[in-house]
Amino acid sequence: MRLILKATTTNVLKTTNEHPILSSLNSIPLFRLESVPTNHVNASKLRFVVDSENNIIALVSRNFQLTQPREVIKEFIAPFVDDVWKWEIHYGQGNVVCRFIFRDFVDVDELKIRPGFMLFDSVTKQFKLRIVQAPYVSNCGNELIMRKASFSRKHIGLIKTDLKRFIEKFKEWLFDLRLLKFERDRLEKEKICRESFETILRDLDIPEKYTRGIVWREGYTLWNLWMDLTNRLSKLNAPIQHHLKVAKILKI
């Protein structure tokens, strides 16, 4: 997946009247559905997804509900562009993954958290439209992904009114970090032995450089492991899929 932009609001020079975030989103093409030639098997049941440069991106069911990732992201972020502290947007072959971290802090016990979210969208059926909480721990620079705090819909059967209702409540949902506090309490109670620690790292199946220096110690908990792993991944700018693996294996 090709990186379009990764920036903070402090290191981007504004060269047009449009906000840098919105300008970068315009690099994501628009898409349309086109009929499949009638001589194709099951032509009546299929559609081509074509981008704004007339490239065929995917072959999908006629029931596929097309979204415009660029416009969906703008609906979420446009009202809050001046509140965003850091963002990154990835696009490639019909798939979009982006992260936005907000400037304001929310206190979760002694942690200072910047709320954030990630959006995944695909016009290729590779994955469904999904928005998840992705807060940033300012104390140590950890970028987290909360898979349980999400809005998710398949493109076949997508109810667009559901998406509209979610957008209306988005800011309230974004700054509600009760799940993070719940997960912290849960993970801090789960102490793991050295064997369990080694098993988790092995099952993660990520390059050793992302786990190097993480050492088990007496009283080590799943919370310690989550913080250690996300700290390494964040500092080394690891691919998003490694963050997702960590969230999945720790059931977050």
Mind listing the pLDDT tens digit for each residue in 205-223?
A: 999 999 999 999 999 999 9
**pLDDT for residue 51 is more than 60:** yes
- Do residues 143 and 119 lie in contact, with contact meaning Cβ atoms separated by under 8 Å? no
Is residue 13 predicted with pLDDT exceeding 50? no
Q: Specify the pLDDT at position 118.
A: 95
Q: Which of 144, 177, 210 is the last residue of a domain?
A: 177
Amino acid at 163: L
pLDDT higher than 70, residue 11:
no
In a domain, 101, yes or no: yes
Same domain, 172 and 209: no
Question: Domain of 13?
Answer: 2-29+67-177
pLDDT for 3: 42
Domain assignment of residue 49, yes or no: no
Does residue 51 fall inside a structural domain? no
Do both 170 and 88 map to the same domain? yes
In this prediction, residue 8 has a pLDDT band, given cuts at 50, 70 and 90, of: low
- Distance (Å, whole) CA 53 – CA 197: 49
In a domain, 12, yes or no: yes
121/150 same-domain check: yes
Boundary (domain end) residue, out of 128, 144, 177: 177
What contacts 192, CB < 8 A, 6 or more positions away? 200, 216, 220, 221, 222, 225
User: Is the predicted pLDDT of residue 142 greater than 70, yes or no?
Assistant: yes
Tell me if 134 is assigned to some domain.
Answer: yes
Secondary structure string (H, E, C) spanning 29-83: CCEEEEECCCCCCCHHHEEEEEECCCCEEEEEECCECCCCHHHHHHHHHHHHHHH
What pTM value is reported for the model? 0.87
Three-class SS of residue 92? strand
Residues 22 and 143 in one domain: yes
How many CA atoms within 13 Å lie on the side-chain side of 4?
A: 23
Final residue of a structural domain among 152, 177, 202? 177
Alpha-carbon distance 67 to 31, whole Å?
Answer: 8
Q: Which of 68, 6, 2 is nearest to 32 (CA)?
A: 68
Let me know whether 169 and 91 are in one domain.
yes
Domains identified in the chain, total number: 2
* Residue 38 phi, psi dihedral angles, 5° rounding: -65, -20
- Looking at the structure, tell me whether residues 19 and 103 fall in a common domain: yes
Residue 227 within a domain = yes
Going by pLDDT thresholds of 50, 70 and 90, the confidence category of residue 155 is confident
Residue 1 has pLDDT above 80, yes or no: no
Asked if 136 and 223 sit in the same domain, the reply is: no
